[in-house]
Structure 1
Amino acid sequence: MRLKLFIVLVFGVNLFAWAQDLCVNQIQGQVLDLDTRQPIPYVTVIVEEEPGKGAITDAQGVFEIKGLCEKEFTLVVSHVGYKEASHHHDSYHDHPTILLASDDHLLESVVVEGIYNQTSLQTISIDRLSSEDFIAAQSESLGELAGRITGISTISTGQNVVKPIIHGLHSNRVLIVNNGVRHEFQNWGIEHAPEIDPSLAGSVEVVKGAATVRYGPDALGGVILVNPPKLELGAGFEGTAGVVAKSNGRSGEGDLQLSYGSDNLVVAVSGAMVGQGDLHTPDYVLTNTGKQEYSYASSLRYHKHKFDLEGYYSHFYQSLGILRGSVNGSLEDLANAMESEVPPGTSPFSYDLNNPRQQVTHDLMKLKGGYVWDNQDISFQYAYQLNHRQEYDVRKGTNNEIPSVDLKLATQTFEVDWNHPDLGHVNGNMGLQWFYQDNNNVPGTNTVPFVPNYNVMRAGLFAVERLEAGSTTYELGLRYDFQYNSVRGRAPSNEIYSNELTYSQLTGSAGLKQTLKNHLNFRSNVGLAWRPPNVSELYIFGKHQASIEYGLWRYAYDEEGKISVSEVLSEENKPVKPEVGIKWINTLEGEQDGNHWELTAYTNVIRNYIYTRPAGITNTVRGAFPYFIYDQGDALFWGLDAAYRLELTQFWKLEAKSSYVWAMNLKERETFINIPPARADVGLDYERKPDFLSSSRVALGLSYVFRYFQEPRVITVREILEAEAEGQDLFAENNEMFDFMAAPDGYFLANLSWSAAVGKWEWSARISNLLNKRYRVYTDRLRYFADQTGRNVQLSLRYRI
C-alpha cells in the first residue's frame, strides 16, 4: 500500500511540474590556459541553440549562464589568440573545465567534461583515479587499477587473477558495471577475475557505499564503474595507438582506438593484445604464470536533437597460467611445498602455458536509447552477455587436455530509467530492471560438475528522490526485488538433484549532502542492502584450481564431528538465509587553493554473512590440496579511509592516503581470513614543462602495508599430518577459525616513473618494486607457495592521431 501511495505521489508531482516555467536550466564552468592552467578572463561563451544566451568569463575564468530552456546544448568558446572550442553538454554532468590552446600550439583546445553521476545517488561520493594515474596504470588488470584508489584493496590467486576489495568485501558483494552494464561472470571465489580490459576504458570510478537501491543485489560493498571513452559528437577523426613493454614477464602489449564524430553520428573501434611469459620474484621464476590476452570493441552513437541511440559490442579472450608449484602429488609434498623457499617444479623462463591454467572468453552486446524532453528524460537499455570459462587441471593421460571445469553463462538484462520533472527543489528518478541468467556445464569434462546448471530470473523496481534545501540535499531511495532460482545437478553417486528457490526483499537508503563553510562538504548515507545466496555458495563441490571447496549444501558433520560430503542437502536440512546488510558511510572533504583532503568512516553490519573457512587437507586423484568450506554468520565491518593532496609549489605536489578495515564474526566471536591489512601510501610529483616538451612529470610512490594483526590461529599442514600420524584430530574439540600459514610480515614498496609528451607523441618509463623487495600479500591465496613479483621496468609509447 505504501509503495502504491509513493508512486501516486510521484506522478502527481510530475503533473504539477509540467505546468511550471521550463527555462530553468543553467551551466557554470571555468576556462583555463592549456599550458599554464591559469584562468583566462574575458572569454566569450555562447549557447549555439539559444541565440542571445551566453556569458563572458570573469577574472578567475569562471562563466555562468542561467535561464536555459534546453537541458542539452552546444557551447562555443572563443578568445583572441586562442583556438576555438566547441563542446556538446547536458545538464546531467557537472560543470566543465575548458582548456584553450594558443594559436601557435600544436594541440587543439580541450574540454574536460564534468562527471556524470551514474549511481543516481548524490549522497554517496564517487572516487576516481586522476587522468595521469589512469593513463599510467591502464596496462594493469582491473583489480590492480581499482586498487590504486583509497580504500580499495585486492584479493588474488597468484599474480594474474586479481579482484578488487571494497571495505573488506569482494566477489559477489562488489558489483562491476562495464559500459553501463552489470558485468556478469563466474564471480564466485577468489580464482576468477573480471574479464575486462582497462586499456580500452575511458575511466574507472568506485562507489564505496551500499548502492543496492540503484543496481540491485550484489552491491553490499560498493560498485566499480568502468566507463568507456566518451563518444563525442562533432569531434571529427581522432585516435590513439600505444605499445607497452615490461621486463617482468618479458611482455609486449599494444592497443589502438579510433573514432569519428560528425554532427549526429559517432563511430568508434578499439582493440588490444597482450603476450606475457613467466613472471619472477627477486629470487626465482614463477613457473607457468604467463598469459595471452586480446580484446576488441566497436561503438556506434546516433544523436538527433533530443533522441540518442547507442550500440556496443566487445569481445575479450584470456588464457593464463596458474603457478605450477601450487599443485602437489601427496600430502607430504603439500607440506614440503608450503615450507619451501622456492616452489616445487620451478623451471627456467618460458612463454608456454601449461596446466593448471584458465581460458575465458566474454562477449557483450548492448543497445541503449534515450529521449530528452524539456523537463524530463527517459532511457532504456538491453544487454546480452556470454561468458565461457574453461579450467584445466594437472590430470593423467588424455584427461590432461580436457577442461575439468567448462561453464557457459548467458545473461540478459533490460532496464528503463526515468528522470522525472522537477517540482521546485525536488528531483529524482525511477526505474525498473529485469535480469535473466542461464548457467550450463558443457559435457565431457569427466568430472562431477563443480557447480550445477541453474537459471536465475530477477525483477526489480526502484525510486530515488532528492530535496534541495539551500546548501543541503536530502535523498531517499526505495527498491523492491524478486528473484527465482532453478537448480539442476548431479551428486557424486550420479543421482540427479534439483531445487527451486525464491527470494524477495525491500531495501532502501537515506542520506544527505551538505556544503559547509570554509570550502567543506559533508556526505552521509545509510543503505539497507541484500544479496541472496549465490548458487555456487550452496552447491560448490570439489577441486578448483589450487584448492578444494564445498558449498553450504554439499557437506555436513557426522556423529563424530567430522565433515561428510556424501549427500546433497537442501533448505529443509540446513536453512540458508539471504545476506542483509546496513552500511553507514560518512565523508567529509575540503578543497582550497588547490589542496584537497577527504576522510571517510563507515560501519557495515551484515546478517547471515556467507564466507569461506579452512577445514583441513585432503588427497585426491588430482593431487593433495587444502580444502575450504562455506559457512554463515553475522559480520561487522568498520574502517577509515583518508586522502590528502597538497600543492607544495607550482611544480611540486604531494599526495598521501591510507586505509584501515576491521572485521569480526559476531556469531562466533572470531575473525575472518582474507581481510586486507592496513596500508599507507605517499606520492610526490614534479611536473614542469621544459621548452622542448609539451609536458613532463616525474612521480615517486612509496607504500607500506602492515602485517594483518587480526589473523586467526595457525595450524600448518605439517602439524595436521603429525597429529594424524599420532591418531589425533586437531579439530574434534576446537573448531575455531584457523589458517594454514601465518600472516606475512609488513612490507615497503617504492615505484618511480617519468612521463612526457611532445606534440602528439607521449611516452613513459616506470619502475615498480624499485628496491626489488621480497614480500607476500596476505590476501593472495597462493602466498602459501610463493612470493610476489620483483622489480619490473615498464616502457610505453603512445601516439595521438
Structure 2
Amino acid sequence: MLLKSLPFLLSLGLLTGYANSYGQAKNCAKNCTCTVSGEIVDATTGEAVAFATVKIIDSDKGVLSNAEGHFEIRGLCVTEVDIEVSHIGYKRIMHHHDIYHPRLQVQLAADEVVLESIIVEGESTGAGLLSLAEVALEGKKLDEVKNKSLGDALATLSGVSTLKTGQNIVKPVVHGLHSNRVLIINNGVRHEFQNWGAEHAPEIDPSLVDKLSVVKGAATVRYGPDALGGVILIDAPPLELHEDWNGEVSLSGNTNGRSGEGSVELHKGFDRTAFFGQASWIQQGDLSAPDYQLTNTGKKEWSAAAGARYHWPHVDLNVYYSHFNQELGILRASVSGNLVDLANSIESEIPPNTRPFSYDINNPRQTVEHDLFKLQGKWNGDHQSLDVQYAFQLNKRKEFDVRRGANNQRPGIDLELISHILEADWKHANFKRWEGNIGVQAIYQDNNNQPGTNTVPFIPNYNVLRLGAYLIESLPIGNNWVEVGLRYDYQNFSVVGREPDNSVYKNELTYQNASFTTGYRWKFSKSKSFRTNLGTAWRAPNVSELYSFGRHQSSIDYGLLRYSISEANLVTTDDILTEEERPVPSEIGVKWVNTYQWKNKFIDAEVTAYVNYIDNYIYSRPGGITQTVRGAFPFFLFDQADALFFGLDVSSTIKHSGKWKSEFNGNYLWARDIENNDNFVALPPVNLAYRISFNTRKLGPFRSSEFTLDLGYTFQQFQAPRTISVRTLLEAKSDDINIFAENAADFDFIDPPDGYFLAGFLWRSTIGPVNTLLRIDNLLNVNYRNYTDRLRYFADDAGINVGLTLSYAF
C-alpha cells in the first residue's frame, strides 16, 4: 500500500511546495530584492581570494570580493542568473545559479595548475550531517589514482584500507569494516551488487569519477541499514549550463602487467540543457611479483557513462546511465588438486602452476556486468527543496572454477540481481532556526541463480523489500551546530533454495529497527574546529551469511544456518538449521567519532578517534580444510559474536615553502571478539605513510612540474589469532586426532606476514596542452605480502611498476 501511494504523495508535496515557493520567489523578483552571495577561495590552498571580479552576465551588475573573499550582489530582479568569476592569475569560471541554493563557494584554480575552477553549493557533507568526519579525494590527487581500482584509490585516504583477493579484486575497508557494513553511494544511488563476497569488488571505474569521499561515521540515518563502518560517496562530473564544448582524452600504460588504458570525456552546456559522456577501457596481462610471474592475473575492462540535465525555473531534471563490464583472472596457484598439494602450495617459495607472461585469462576467473539508470527531479523553492529519484540496477556475475571436462566452460556461480530504488528527500524551510531533511526510501530486489551451472547454488534465490523513513535536523548556535537524526527501517526476505539432493527449502525472514544520531560541531576559530558524532546503526544478516554452501573461487564457505558443531567441536554440514535451532539476530552498532581539525595557510591537520561496539557481529573464520571433487580447499565458517573496534586516524599537510610540501597519514585499529576474548582474522594492521613534494613552475620545456616521493610502512599484525597450518591439520587427520576437541578458538593457516616498507615516485608536469604523469610503485621492488589479501597464503604481492599517463584537456 505504501509503495502504491508513494508516487501520489510525492507529487502532491511537489505541487504544494512549488505553488508556495513560486509566490515567494515572484515577490523577490517583483520587488527587485533578490540576492546572490558567497565566498571565493584558492582551489589549491583554500585561502581567500580578495578583489576577484564577480558579475552577472548580460547585465551591469557586478562586485569585487572583499579582503576575506566574500561577495554579495543585491537588487536583482530575477531569481536565476548566470555569473562569471575572474581574477588575474586564475582560470575564469561561469555558473548558472538560482537564489534558492545556499551561499556559493567559488574555488578558483591558478593558471599554471592542472586543476579547473569549480563552484560548490552548500556546506553539509553528502551524509547530510556536519558533525560527521569526512575525507575526500578530488582534483590532482584523484588523477594520480584513476588507473587503480576503486579500493586502492580510496586506500590513499586516512582511515581507509583494503581487503583483497589478489591485485585485481580490491574492496575498501573503513575503520576495520567492509562489504555489507560500508555503503557505496554512486552518483546519488545506493550501489547494489553481490557485496557479500570478499572476492566481489565494486563495479565502479575510478577513471570516470569526479570526486571520491568517505564519511567515517555511522550514517545509517541518512542512507539506511548497512552503514556501520561508514559511507563512500562517488560523484559523477557536474552538469553545468552555459558551458562551452570541453573534455579530456587520456592514455596510460604500465610495465607490471603490460597494461594499456584509455579514457575520453566530453561536456557541453546550453541555456536550459547540459550533457556529458564518458568511456574507458583497460587490458592487462599477468602481473608479476619481484621473483616470479603471478599466473592468471590478467584483466579486461570497459565502461561508459552518459548524463543529461534539463532546467526549468525552480526545477531540474537529470538522467544518468552507466555500464561496467569486467573479466578478471584469479591466481592459478590458489587452486589445488588434493590436500597434500594444498599444503605444498602454501609452503612453496614459487607458486605452483606458474607460467610465462600471458594476456590469456583462464579459470579460475569471474565476469561482471553492471548497469545503472537514474532519473532524478529536484525542485528548488524558497529556502527549501524536494529531491525525488528513481534508480534501476542490473548486476550480472559469473564465477568460473577449475572443473573437469565440459563443466570447465560452465560458471560455478551465475547470479543476476535486479534492484529498484525509489526515494524522496525534502529539505524543509527553517522552523524556529531548525533546518533539516525529511525523507523516505523504498527498495525492491530480486536475486536469482541462472540455470546451467551443473552445481548446487552457492546461495539461494531471494527477494528483498526494504522500506525506510528518516528525519535529520540541525540547529546553528553562533558558529557552531547541533544535530539530531532518527530513522526507522523494515526489511523482508523471501528465500528459495536447493539442497545437495535437489530438494527445495524456503524461508521468510523479517527484520526491523530504529537508528539515531546526534552530533555537535564546534568552530573555535577560523582555523580550528571539532566535530563529535554518536550514532547507532544496524544490519540484517545477508543471505550469504545465512545460507552460503560450497565452493566460492579460492575457498569454501558455510553460512550460519548450513553447519553445526558437535560436542567434540567437529563441523558437520548435513542439515539446514532453523532460526529456532540457531537464532541469528541483526547486528546493532553504536559508533562514536571525534575529529579535531587545524587548518591555516601553512598546515592542514586532522585527528579522528573512534570507538565502535557491534552486538551480534557476523564474521568469517577459518574452519579447516576439506577435499571435494573440484580439489582441496580451506573452508571458512560464518560465526557471530559481540565485537569492539577502537581506532585513530591522523593526517596532516604542511607547506614548508612555496615549493616544498609534505603529507603524513597514519591509521591504527584495535579490535576484539569480546564475547570469546579472541582476535579476528584479516583486520588491517597499523600503517604509516609519508609524502614529500617539490614543485616548480618551469623546468625546461615543462611547466608546473611536481616531484613526489612516497614512503610507507605497514606493520606486522599483532592482533592475529593462533596459527594452525594445513600441514598440522593433515598430520592430525592421518593420526585420527581431533585438535579442536579442547580448543575451538579461531585460527589462521599461516602467521601474519612481516611488516614491510614501500617507496614510490611520482612526476607530474605539463608540456604544451598535454599533462603527463609518471608513477613508479614499489620503487625498491620489495617482496611482501598483504595481511588483508586472501591470496597471501600462496604468493607475494606485485613488484615494481612504472606507469605513464598522458592526458589532453580541451
- TM-score where L is the length of structure 1: 0.94
Write the distance in 2 (CA, Å) between the matches of 1:273 and 1:716.
Answer: 41
Given candidates 91, 104, 110, the residue that maps to 2:117 is: 110
Tell me, yes or no, if the aligned pair for 2:38 and 2:103 is still in contact at 8 Å: no
Aligned partner letter, 2:715: F
Write the distance in 1 (CA, Å) between the matches of 2:44 and 2:579.
Answer: 65
Once the two structures are superposed, residues 570-599 of structure 1 have per-residue CA deviations (whole angstroms, 9 ceiling, x without a partner) of 212110000000000000001122311000
Instruction: Please say if 1:435 is aligned against 2:443.
Output: yes
Write the distance in 2 (CA, Å) between the matches of 1:39 and 1:515.
Answer: 18
Instruction: Please say if 1:468 is aligned against 2:476.
Output: yes
Deviates more, 1:372-381 or 1:713-722: 372-381
Structure 1 residues 25 and 707: CA distance shift in structure 2, 3 A: farther
Tell me, yes or no, if the aligned pair for 2:568 and 2:740 is still in contact at 8 Å: no
Structure 1 residues 633 and 40: CA distance shift in structure 2, 3 A: closer
Determine the structure 2 residue equivalent to 1:664. Answer: 672
Once the two structures are superposed, residues 247-267 of structure 1 have per-residue CA deviations (whole angstroms, 9 ceiling, x without a partner) of 000000001111111121112
Write the distance in 2 (CA, Å) between the matches of 1:686 and 1:700.
Answer: 9
Given candidates 614, 621, 626, the residue that maps to 2:629 is: 621
Tell me, yes or no, if the aligned pair for 2:694 and 2:707 is still in contact at 8 Å: yes
Aligned partner letter, 1:550: Y
Aligned partner letter, 1:401: Q
Given candidates 782, 785, 791, the residue that maps to 1:782 is: 791
* Displacement of 1:45: 1.6
Write the distance in 2 (CA, Å) between the matches of 1:563 and 1:100.
Answer: 64
Determine the structure 2 residue equivalent to 1:714. Answer: 723
Write the distance in 2 (CA, Å) between the matches of 1:732 and 1:771.
Answer: 46
Deviates more, 1:522-531 or 1:109-118: 109-118
Determine the structure 1 residue equivalent to 2:240. Answer: 232
* Displacement of 1:631: 0.4
Instruction: Please say if 1:201 is aligned against 2:209.
Output: yes
Tell me, yes or no, if the aligned pair for 2:115 and 2:140 is still in contact at 8 Å: no
Write the distance in 1 (CA, Å) between the matches of 2:134 and 2:90.
Answer: 34
Write the distance in 2 (CA, Å) between the matches of 1:611 and 1:591.
Answer: 39
1:628 partner SS: strand
Tell me, yes or no, if the aligned pair for 1:93 and 1:115 is still in contact at 8 Å: yes
Determine the structure 1 residue equivalent to 2:266. Answer: 258
* Displacement of 1:100: 6.7
* Displacement of 1:695: 1.8
Write the distance in 2 (CA, Å) between the matches of 1:492 and 1:25.
Answer: 70
* Displacement of 1:304: 2.1
Instruction: Please say if 1:699 is aligned against 2:708.
Output: yes
Write the distance in 2 (CA, Å) between the matches of 1:134 and 1:108.
Answer: 11
Tell me, yes or no, if the aligned pair for 2:243 and 2:270 is still in contact at 8 Å: yes
- TM-score where L is the length of structure 2: 0.93
Write the distance in 1 (CA, Å) between the matches of 2:610 and 2:77.
Answer: 41
Aligned partner letter, 1:746: G
Structure 1 residues 125 and 67: CA distance shift in structure 2, 3 A: farther
Determine the structure 2 residue equivalent to 1:269. Answer: 277
Once the two structures are superposed, residues 685-728 of structure 1 have per-residue CA deviations (whole angstroms, 9 ceiling, x without a partner) of 11111074442111111000000001111000001111122221
Tell me, yes or no, if the aligned pair for 1:407 and 1:441 is still in contact at 8 Å: yes
Tell me, yes or no, if the aligned pair for 1:670 and 1:737 is still in contact at 8 Å: yes
Write the distance in 1 (CA, Å) between the matches of 2:61 and 2:320.
Answer: 35
Structure 1 residues 523 and 79: CA distance shift in structure 2, 3 A: closer
Identify unmatched segments of 5+ residues in structure 1: 1-9
Structure 1 residues 317 and 735: CA distance shift in structure 2, 3 A: same
Instruction: Please say if 1:683 is aligned against 2:707.
Output: no
Deviates more, 1:692-701 or 1:200-209: 692-701
Write the distance in 2 (CA, Å) between the matches of 1:279 and 1:459.
Answer: 44
Tell me, yes or no, if the aligned pair for 1:47 and 1:74 is still in contact at 8 Å: yes
Instruction: Please say if 1:569 is aligned against 2:599.
Output: no
> How do 1:250-329 residues align onto structure 2 when only pairs under 5 Å count?
250-329=258-337
1:95 partner SS: strand
1:113 partner SS: strand
Write the distance in 2 (CA, Å) between the matches of 1:688 and 1:128.
Answer: 25
* Displacement of 1:447: 0.6
Aligned partner letter, 2:208: L
2:153 partner SS: helix
* Displacement of 1:425: 2.5
Write the distance in 2 (CA, Å) between the matches of 1:28 and 1:549.
Answer: 55
Count of residues paired in the alignment: 786
CA RMSD for the aligned pairs? Answer: 2.6
* Displacement of 1:89: 4.3
* Displacement of 1:446: 0.7
* Displacement of 1:52: 8.0
* Displacement of 1:766: 0.6
Aligned partner letter, 1:766: R
Instruction: Please say if 1:125 is aligned against 2:133.
Output: yes
Determine the structure 2 residue equivalent to 1:638. Answer: 646
Determine the structure 1 residue equivalent to 2:512. Answer: 504
* Displacement of 1:31: 5.7
Instruction: Please say if 1:96 is aligned against 2:103.
Output: no
Tell me, yes or no, if the aligned pair for 1:325 and 1:785 is still in contact at 8 Å: yes
Write the distance in 2 (CA, Å) between the matches of 1:545 and 1:774.
Answer: 25
* Displacement of 1:72: 6.4
Deviates more, 1:667-676 or 1:74-83: 74-83
Deviates more, 1:385-394 or 1:16-25: 16-25
Tell me, yes or no, if the aligned pair for 2:342 and 2:632 is still in contact at 8 Å: yes
Once the two structures are superposed, residues 637-657 of structure 1 have per-residue CA deviations (whole angstroms, 9 ceiling, x without a partner) of 010000111001111001011
Tell me, yes or no, if the aligned pair for 1:425 and 1:469 is still in contact at 8 Å: no
Write the distance in 1 (CA, Å) between the matches of 2:53 and 2:36.
Answer: 16
Write the distance in 2 (CA, Å) between the matches of 1:69 and 1:428.
Answer: 29
Write the distance in 2 (CA, Å) between the matches of 1:743 and 1:148.
Answer: 23
Determine the structure 2 residue equivalent to 1:451. Answer: 459
Aligned partner letter, 2:39: G
1:723 partner SS: helix
> How do 1:53-68 residues align onto structure 2 when only pairs under 5 Å count?
54-59=62-67, 61-64=69-72
- Percent identical among aligned pairs is 48
* Displacement of 1:35: 11
* Displacement of 1:375: 2.1
Write the distance in 1 (CA, Å) between the matches of 2:78 and 2:522.
Answer: 27
Determine the structure 2 residue equivalent to 1:738. Answer: 747
Instruction: Please say if 1:244 is aligned against 2:249.
Output: no
Structure 1 residues 374 and 324: CA distance shift in structure 2, 3 A: same
Tell me, yes or no, if the aligned pair for 1:28 and 1:65 is still in contact at 8 Å: no
Instruction: Please say if 1:798 is aligned against 2:780.
Output: no
Structure 1 residues 791 and 266: CA distance shift in structure 2, 3 A: same
